[in-house]
Amino acid sequence: MLYHTPVLLHTCINALNIHPDGVYVDVTYGGGGHSAEILKLLKRGRLVVFDQDADAFKNKVENDKLLFIRNNFSNLKEALNENGIIEVNGILADLGVSSHQFNEASRGFSIRFDANLDMRMDTGSSLTASCILNKYEEKQLVNIFSNYGEVENSKRLAFTIVTNRKAKTIETVSDLKLVINRCIPPKKENQYLAQVFQALRIEVNNELESLKKMLIQSEDVLVKGGRLVVISYHSLEDRLVKNFMKKGKFEGELDKDIYGNVNAPFELINKKPIVPDEQEIVENNRARSAKLRIAQKTV
């Protein structure tokens, strides 16, 4: 089984506008599919890759042009500086969970397998989905399910979890399904569970805050004309990426000078997100929700 099938592979590589002698960063190495294509185009250039997952580190390729940094991409600038890299020509981020993580039952990312509710991308961290379900206060759970999963009946869901965990801790996927079964709307089991799992995963890995930090730091490390290429898989991620690329911030109006000129560090290369064609979705179901946005640093 493939470790991971890269999404929008050639579109991403073209978007980076790779110079053979440039320095590029793949902040989500995963199975290395995007990175392998970048390496093919480098001569004297260099590729720096980030991934906090031990399995991804084991899967890395040996190449003199590649530097693997086992770290969260939220530490982008500091980690690059520690390795003597101040500026880069392009940054690629393929957000979300890799095919390997979904398909590895023990990781607890998928609703398809009965496994411990883990969901850690960095298996060295202490917070798991099970910890959240059994220890968080009801109000905290409501916020997580509402804000990160956009679950409509988040209050009922949180109340059900808190009530049932008093009798038995929620340790596995089957435990959770059994507890929340009555909260699931008719004929919407898969969609509902996907929203619940998404919310838990985002909280476990602090995904949205990490994404914000990486995007802010991308402005600092990209050279003028450098490209920022990001694939997102749900509206929460995509909204952050879209706003940052358009405004240089995550909320509020565009900043303008006294002449009405927009003050933004990036220029959008594609006004609307690029999505996979039908053939790619057939070949790789994970691609169905992918949205690719591309921006170029202007200052």
Residues 190 and 222 both lie in one domain: no
Predicted local confidence at residue 191, as pLDDT: 95
Residues 131 and 257 both lie in one domain: no
Residues 79 and 30 both lie in one domain: yes
- What is residue 94's three-state secondary structure? strand
Q: Could you tell me if residue 2 is inside a domain?
A: no
Q: Could you tell me if residue 167 is inside a domain?
A: yes
Please list the rounded mean pLDDT of every run of 10 residues in the chain (299 residues): 75 98 97 95 98 87 96 97 98 82 71 90 93 98 98 97 98 97 95 96 96 98 98 96 96 81 90 96 91 96
CATH of the domain at 188: 1.10.150.170
DSSP 103-140: H-GGG---TTS--BS---SSTTSS--HHHHHHHS-HHH
CB of 161 closer than 8 Å to CB of 170: yes
Residues 212 and 199 both lie in one domain: no
Q: Which domain holds residue 126?
A: 105-205
Those residues whose C-beta lies under 8 Å from the C-beta of residue 281, and which sit 6 or more positions away, are 287, 288
Q: Could you tell me if residue 219 is inside a domain?
A: yes
Radius of gyration of the chain (CA): 20
Residues 93 and 19 both lie in one domain: yes
Q: Could you tell me if residue 254 is inside a domain?
A: yes
Residues 184 and 216 both lie in one domain: no
Residues 127 and 86 both lie in one domain: no
Residue ending a domain, among 205, 221, 253, is 205
CA–centroid distance for 227 within its chain: 18
Report the interhelical angle of 154-164 vs 138-149 (nearest 10°): 140
Residue ending a domain, among 145, 171, 205, is 205
Predicted local confidence at residue 108, as pLDDT: 72
**Strands laid side by side in the 291-297 sheet:** 66-69, 46-50, 23-26, 88-94, 222-232, 291-297, 266-268
Residues belonging to the chain: 299
Q: What gap in Å lies between CA 269 and CA 15, rounded to an integer? A: 9
Q: Could you tell me if residue 3 is inside a domain?
A: no
Residues 14 and 33 both lie in one domain: yes
Say what the pTM is: 0.92
Q: Could you tell me if residue 1 is inside a domain?
A: no
Instruction: Say how many domains are in the chain.
Output: 2
CATH of the domain at 13: 3.40.50.150
The span from the first CA to the last CA of the chain, in angstroms, equals 44
Virtual CA dihedral for 30, 31, 33, 35, nearest 10 degrees?
50
